[in-house]
Amino acid sequence: MKRIGVLTSGGDSPGMNSALRASVRAALALGWEVIGVHRGYSGLISEEFQRLDSRSVSGILQFGGTILQTARSKEFFLDEGRRKAVTIIKKNGIDALVIIGGNGSLTGALKLHELGVTTVGIPGSIDNDLYGTDMAIGVDTALNTIINAVDKIKDTASSHDRAFIIEVMGRESGYLAVMSAMASGAEFAIVPEVPYDIKAISGKLRRRYEEKRSNSIIIVAEGATSAYQIEKELRDEIGFETRVTVLGHIQRGGSPTVFDRLIASQFGYFAVDFLNKGGSGKMVGLVKDDIVFTPFQDAISRVRPIKKELLTIMELLGT
């Protein structure tokens, strides 16, 4: 191994810069050369390359987003585009790729691996929908951003004795919804993994209303339904007026938390260590506090079930 490329792909998540810094410095410490690929697979195909030294990644670990930028590439979706990428990788003497991203990015990494390119993946995705890691980079920061927002909304909810419905990210996974509901003391979480029962929700809201506790919080994962839909159903069901907030893109940004910086730094370090030991085709992850490597195929296709027990505890505590 002499020369590796690093790229960030798909939706950005806080901590990608920390992972980038760690993988660059770990590679340099092995005496390798590092090429930063700008704008993900798109920049790979168009050869947007930059030689990275230790200083190129100085002072970036505390910033959200990714200094390499990211993009979605239509060309890379096609076989031809991917073969072009392989040619470019070879032409530039790149021996291996570190790919930081979510489900789509690792699907691309798998394709490259199948075409003979040495690759390692680092999970970066606030949805936390990858198998093979308990937490992807950015999830902890996104959760803290969500509860800071919910804490602010609770000021108004308490002052006005009002119910709020808050929509958070999570297309396939209710992870953000369940965890933020528990951490913010919400009364309900509505998630893709479990069908919701509007009668049960309206019944509990009504009971709380009768006890003069009208300031409820309902967290909805975007993959389950929309907050506006729940608002409508509650109005139709019990004539209950609620307010809706869709948190949107603020969930992706911000300075990464300690946890995200720590896992990102370790993922970056161990991903390079994995390449150094001759590995390829796997994603680094944290499972029960251990660094583990999972084949791309499993990481992108297997499902990490939601802990239903947490949902039960959450509802019991948010009485």
Instruction: Kindly state whether residue 152 participates in binding a copy of itself, applying the rule CB under 8 A.
Output: yes
User: Are the beta carbons of 141 and 260 closer than 8 angstroms?
Assistant: yes
The distance of closest approach from Cβ of residue 187 to a copy of itself in the complex, given in angstroms and rounded to an integer, is 11
Beta partners for 285?
292
Give the range of 55-63, 97-105, 113-121, 233-241 binding a copy of itself by CB under 8 A. 55-63
Active-site residue, selected from the candidate residues 53, 95, 127, 289: 127
Position of tokens 């199948």? 114
CA distances from 53 to 26, 33, 35, 41, 226 (A): 11, 8, 9, 21, 45
For position 242 contacting a copy of itself by CB under 8 A, the verdict is no
CB of 73 to a copy of itself, least distance (A): 12
CA distance 122 to 220: 28
Q: Which residues contact 9 (CB under 8 A, 6 or more apart)?
A: 40, 41, 70, 71, 99, 100, 101, 104, 105, 108
Paired sense of beta strands 33-37 and 49-52, if any: antiparallel
Quote the CA–CA distance of 174 and 43 in Å, as a whole number: 32
Q: How far is CA 291 from CA 6, 135, 269, 296, in A?
A: 20, 11, 11, 15
129 binds a copy of itself (CB under 8 A): no
Chain positions 62 to 121 lying near a copy of itself, rule: CB under 8 A, are: 62-66, 69-71
Q: 24 to 53, contacts with a copy of itself by CB under 8 A?
A: 25-26, 28-29, 39
Our finding on whether 284 is near a copy of itself (CB under 8 A) is no
Determine, following the binding rule CB under 8 A, whether residue 223 of this chain makes contact with a copy of itself.
no
Is residue 292 involved in binding a copy of itself (CB under 8 A)?
A: no
Q: Which stretch binds a copy of itself (CB under 8 A): 43-51, 92-100, 101-109, 145-153?
A: 145-153
Does 260 participate in catalysis according to the annotation? Answer: no
Taking the complex as a whole, how short is the minimal distance between the CB of residue 46 and a copy of itself, in angstroms?
13
CB of 83 to a copy of itself, least distance (A): 26
Q: Is 2 helix (H, G, I), strand (E, B) or coil?
A: coil
Q: In angstroms, rounded to a whole number, what is the distance separating the alpha carbons of residues 184 and 3?
A: 46
| Residue 255 interacts with a copy of itself (CB under 8 A): yes or no | yes
Binders of a copy of itself among 173-212, rule CB under 8 A? 179-180, 182-185
Report the residue number, 16 or 96, with the smaller CB distance to a copy of itself: 16
- Between 250 and 303, whose beta carbon lies closer to a copy of itself? 250
Name which of 229, 237, 214, 226 is nearest 164 in CA terms. Answer: 214
List, by residue number, the catalytic residues: 127
